[in-house]
Structure 1
């Protein structure tokens, strides 16, 4: 059953776009993964609506594209998927989880398969390396807070916190674990993520 749709928060999108620096970019595989989620959940008509305009490019996994376009894509995906998945934060979370699952079988194989060796502490300690293989901007610093917990400090990353929560909980699922990631926003482009798993 379809829920009543609400447009995603375009004022927040504009604030996030204003935080983007020239040259900030995102790898094409993340665009493709979000578009795939839209098609799987909402069908081809919704996909074509989301792809309109500048987002109509044929993306290549390892090439990079403007972060502004990726932000716009996330909010368009929220407009298309809210009737099916719930509020925009639920859509952003789903996009993040799908993206990290796809990343772990491509450019992220090094950090997921070799560096982390199934250990979440090692995986999150390598967050800067992992994100550095995905985007051209921002800094990430991880501090363990217990045997099965830690806090990831993200700075100068303008993507919605719910998207990163999806990435972090999705990363735990890739390792075969269940867990949570809760964001404490520190500004439009900064947040701290408390991560726990079992």
Structure 2
């Protein structure tokens, strides 16, 4: 895709085309998809600062302070309160830039998103919301998955998430109207199951719509 020159298109579609064209040089279709998700968000779609900070931790570790500053600048957020709610549109901008910068080190765009999802789990489990979830799960993956949808809504303002059981140690986890791609939530779900003591965790996600995804989970 050619990069549009400034002013080539006006309004949201023009903004999308110019931004996605710039990102696509390294991120390909994945960057374009993140921009489509950003444009689908409303002012009411928010996420806590812990997710922003988790992404910046990954960026700082792999890309250094220059990359961190670049991601903060793209998101327009310089000081992050872990518990404060921020627009998901800003997180999507930050995530797209982070994934583009780190893709060569983490097996491409999806590899970066999985790493970001894993870090998000680490930060969530360390939060008051995560500690409550772990306590309620009592080391049982099924209890954790049953409560996970409600726990998500303590950290974000959007979406619906729930398990469909396929066995004693397997499930299909459904996400509706969630703004992050399947690769990100593969990292989240893998991390949260391991955090509750599950072994040999397997997570395979697939998109069933722009904002909808499903995950086949199994563990021992």
Question: TM-score, length-normalised on structure 2?
Answer: 0.83
Deviations 1:142-191 (A, max 9, x none): 11211111111111112111101100001122123331211121100001
Residues in 1 aligned to 2:37 and 2:218: alpha-carbon distance in whole angstroms: 27
Question: How far 1:57 moved relative to its partner?
Answer: 2.5
Q: Which residue does the alignment assign to 2:71?
A: 50
Which residue number in structure 2 is paired with residue 23 of structure 1?
Answer: 44
Structure 1 residue 31: deviation in Å? 0.3
Structure 2 counterpart of 1:85: 106
Which residue does the alignment assign to 2:96?
75
Select which of 17, 27, 36 maps to 1:7.
Answer: 27
> What CA distance in whole angstroms lies between the structure 1 residues aligned with 2:41 and 2:77?
21
Residues 25-50 of structure 1, C-alpha deviations (whole Å, 9 max, x = no match): 00001101110110011111211222
Measure, in 2, the Cα distance between the counterparts of 1:53 and 1:77. Answer: 10
Residues 50-59 or 116-125, more deviating: 50-59
List runs of 5+ in structure 2 lacking aligned partners: 1-24
Q: Which runs of 5+ in 1 are unaligned?
A: none
Q: Which has the higher contact order (CA 8 A, sep 6+)?
A: 1
Q: TM-score, normalised by structure 1?
A: 0.92
Q: What displacement does 1:14 show?
A: 2.0
Structure 2 residue 188 is matched with structure 1 residue 192: no
Instruction: State the number of aligned residues.
Output: 193
For the residue of structure 1 that corresponds to 2:76, the secondary structure is helix
From the two aligned structures, give the one with the greater strand fraction: 1
Which structure has the larger Rg?
2
More helix by proportion, 1 or 2? 2
Aligned-residue CA RMSD in angstroms?
1.5
2:172 to 151, 157, 178: 151
Q: Residue 201 of structure 2 contacts residue 219 of structure 2 at CA under 8 Å; is this kept in 1?
A: yes
Per the alignment, residue 100 of structure 1 pairs with 121
Q: Which moved more, 1:30-39 or 1:79-88?
A: 79-88
**Structure 2 residue 161 is the aligned partner of structure 1 residue 140:** yes
